[in-house]
Amino acid sequence: ETGVTQTPRHLVMGMTNKKSLKCEQHLGHNAMYWYKQSAKKPLELMFVYNFKEQTENNSVPSRFSPECPNSSHLFLHLHTLQPEDSALYLCASSQENSPEAFFGQGTRLTVV
């Protein structure tokens, strides 16, 4: 039990579909993050939420839409994605005054 749970683990979607990725953390943290992991590239930070407020949007295309209804849950809504959006999407959480981030197992997304 890692404390950060992501669903689904795998997702295949067409370019015209709408889907959502879910992240839930059971650690009492106040910050949550979405990262994109593509092959041969460093992890790219997409969004940061701090106390449910979005504090960073790293120039992410609008076809990715985050939602943070409370400090424990984070969603990533997907629509009209492109094949190059296929990647592993990782969620993480952390607590103020603590440097470590804890990660979920990721959602492997394939856009066809």
Q: Which residue, 65 or 95, is less far from other proteins as judged by CB? A: 95
The residue within the footprint of other proteins, chosen from 1, 40, 69, 84 (CB under 8 A), is 40
Site string for other proteins, 88-107 (x = CB under 8 A): x-x-x-x-x--xxxxxxxx-
- Whether the CB-CB separation of 84 and 30 falls below 8 Å is answered with no
d(CA 39, CA 51): 31
Stretch that binds other proteins, among 13-21, 61-69, 76-84, 85-93 (CB under 8 A): 85-93
Site string for other proteins, 20-39 (x = CB under 8 A): ----------xx-x------
d(CA 2, CA 16): 33
d(CA 111, CA 108): 10
